[in-house]
Amino acid sequence: MPARLLGPLVLLGLGLAAAPTFAHVGPNEQLRDLDARIATEPMNAGLYLHRGELLRARGDLLPALRDFEGARTLDPTSAEPDFHAGRAMLEAGLPAEAIRPLDRALAMRPGHLDARTSRGRARARLGRHAEAAADFTIAIRSYPPGTSPQPDLSSAGAPHPNAAPCS
pLDDT bucket at 150, cuts 50 / 70 / 90: low
pLDDT at 151: 56
Long-range contact set of residues 19-27: C-beta below 8 Å, sequence gap at least 24: 27/54, 27/57, 27/58
pTM over 0.85: no
Domains and CATH numbers, the chain: 28-110 (1.25.40.10)
Long-range contact set of residues 143-151: C-beta below 8 Å, sequence gap at least 24: 143/113, 149/113, 149/117
- Is the model's pLDDT at 130 over the cut of 60? yes
- Residue 154 parent element (H or E): none
Size of the chain, expressed as the number of residues it contains: 167
